[in-house]
A and B are shown apart, each in its own frame.
Chain A
Amino acid sequence: MEILMAIVIGILFTSAVYLMLSKSLLRIIIGTGLLSHGAHLLILTMGGLKRGSVPILGEHAKSYVDPIPQALILTAIVISFGVTSFFLVLAYRAYQELGTDNMDQMRGTESND
């Protein structure tokens, strides 16, 4: 199961890198979304995908899945939500002010100022 997940996460990272190297700002942001998906799935996978009950004590199971990676993911998810929403608003604002979403035209040279 972990091997399958590793391959899937690898595909997510590949797509994220491909999208982040493109010219359009919106594609780059979609790329960061895929990157954080990959990272979160990686925490889950690296914590181990052994069979066990959900980590609620009321279940009275013999074994539970590891609760730490889930807590880490939850933290990482809300952080990346915050950053992504800021990034999206920044992209919107930059589109209004600079009038472009092409990263090639956002170089810091004299002619672009």
Chain B
Amino acid sequence: MINLLILPIIIPLFTAIFLIFLTKYVMVQRWVSTISLLGTISSAFILLHTVHQDGIQTLNLGSWPAPFGITLVSDMLSALLVTTASVIALCCLIYSFKSIGEGRERYYYYAVFQFLLVGINGAFTTGDIFNLFVFFEVMLMSSYVLLVIGGTKIQLRESIKYILVNVISSALFVITVAYLYSVVGSLNMADISVRISQIHQPGIITVIAILFLIVFGLKGAIFPLYFWLPGSYYAPPAPILAMFGALLTKVGVYSILRTYTLFFYHDPGYTHQILGVLAVLTIIAGIIGAIAFWDVKKIIIYNIIIAVGVITFGISVMTKESLTGSVFYLIHDMIMKAALFLLVGIITTIAGTSNLRKISGLIKFYPALGWIFFIASLSLAGIPPLSGFVGKLLIVKGGFEEHQYVGAAVVLMSSLFVLYSVIKIFLNGFWGKPLDELKDSRAPIKMMIAPAAFLLAIAIFYGLGSEYVYSYISQASDVLTNPAIYIDAVLKE
């Protein structure tokens, strides 16, 4: 079926429109959005299988030939990311049934949630640079609403800052697209790549490359453009935070990955070196934040920044091995960040605070939660049988082979600090003397812990079955190291 790759965008879109009419019926909304997400996930898996069997799938919308119309392109990387995003969305959705509260559910929460997924899946699938901007805006606009929904004081305050930063970065995106259009005269990503390689990337294209780095760095929170993230992500409730932490920044990282492997690979001595330096600084900035705070949410939020740094370092090295590592780590990190934010949400619900100094002894009353959190911590740090290991191993190996010793060493060191920061939560929050108020307040967390445990199970499978997953991921990094595959698939005669 030729329209297969549009299904993960169109199913949530129609569901969102349908849900707008159902706001009063909370139970109906829950069922409709769950069923539609199951549909999205199954179409994403079919897409993944098709791309694995038959190579890159393209769809020229309206049957206009490739450089002139909008082309949707689903290579292995975007198919993997679409699948991961849809699975994470389902877990966050089920988690929100118990935690989000009826006040928010009645005011279009599920509709906006689906629109967010439309934006994310669209951004992963599109093959047109301006269409990428539009899908970014769909995603950002839904994230504004999700950030402010409920209207508490902290949410109002932080969403003003979040919107301002994103308005500026969107204007920069438009400006950068305008510059690129005036140089190459095309908007189709494959066509842009061909034209840039025809003119051998003159200085102006390098400037545009750096502008794109600034734009996507603002979305993806790399150093020194991450300043908005800790405050903004602190405001929303847990399931929204899990969606943001797992997916939004990763769309920025994906865009850096796409543009730096498809467009700007002719002068890596300049562009990729800057990316590498910024990646190392991002890791360091994230580490400082993660070990400095005694707040459960803040610690995990700074861990997002560390992970973004690790992935972009893998991109900057630009070998087959490091790119495979980056893709491996990207998917691992999406799953793990969602799982950790959901777990942190449960911890704050039980303890009534996110201040780590006021939480202790949770393991006595919530042993399952404790051990799930423990395994998640080890997985995040990259302890061998678990999911974070293979990606980081490949990134470090790629770094050493390209003689980037400092960067690779920082990536290795970062694992230690990541482990320290999450084990700090485990030791202080779960061990120790149980708090008195925990005894009678047995919060009902079964429905909330199930999605987190499910995500963790996926992560464990992802780590143990990396041999099986590898064939998919190496197909994704084939396209990244050899843009001709992508270009041939889109601009076929």
B-side contacts of A93, CB under 8 Å: 151, 156
Is there contact, CB below 8 Å, between B141 and A82?
A: yes
> Of B160, B182, B187, which one neighbours A46 at CB under 8 angstroms?
B182
Is there contact, CB below 8 Å, between B168 and A20?
A: yes
Chain A residues within CB distance 8 Å of chain B = 20, 25, 28, 32, 35-36, 38-40, 42-43, 45-48, 68-69, 72, 75-76, 79-80, 82-83, 86-87, 90-91, 93-94, 97-98, 106, 108, 113
A38 and B145 alpha carbons, distance in the complex (Å): 26
Is there contact, CB below 8 Å, between B178 and A39?
A: yes
Flag whether B159 is at the interface (Cβ < 8 A): yes
Q: Which of A45, A72, A91 has the most CB of B within 10 A?
A: A72
> Of B156, B160, B171, B182, which one neighbours A48 at CB under 8 angstroms?
B182
Flag whether B405 is at the interface (Cβ < 8 A): no
Is there contact, CB below 8 Å, between A90 and B171?
A: no
Given A93-B151, A108-B158; A86-B174 close (CB under 8 Å) = no
A-B contact pairs, 8 of them (CB 8 A): A35-B167, A39-B171, A46-B181, A68-B187, A72-B178, A76-B174, A87-B163, A90-B159
> Of B151, B175, B177, which one neighbours A97 at CB under 8 angstroms?
B151
> Of A69, A82, A91, which one neighbours B181 at CB under 8 angstroms?
A69
Given A32-B164, A32-B168; A39-B157 close (CB under 8 Å) = no
Q: Residues of B within 8 Å of A, CB-based: how many? A: 33
Flag whether B130 is at the interface (Cβ < 8 A): yes
B179: nearest chain-A partner, CB-CB: A46
A39 and B164 alpha carbons, distance in the complex (Å): 16
A70 and B444 alpha carbons, distance in the complex (Å): 55
Is there contact, CB below 8 Å, between B157 and A98?
A: yes
A80 and B51 alpha carbons, distance in the complex (Å): 36
B172-228 with Cβ < 8 A to chain A: 174-175, 177-179, 181-182, 187
Flag whether B107 is at the interface (Cβ < 8 A): no
A9 and B381 alpha carbons, distance in the complex (Å): 48
Is there contact, CB below 8 Å, between B182 and A90?
A: no
Q: Which of B130, B141, B178, B182 has the most CB of A within 10 A?
A: B178
A83 and B168 alpha carbons, distance in the complex (Å): 11
Q: Interface digits, B411-453 against A, CB 8 Å rule (1 contact, 0 not)?
A: 0000000000000000000000000000000000000000000
A97 and B154 alpha carbons, distance in the complex (Å): 10
> Of A45, A79, A94, which one neighbours B137 at CB under 8 angstroms?
A79
Is there contact, CB below 8 Å, between A75 and B164?
A: no
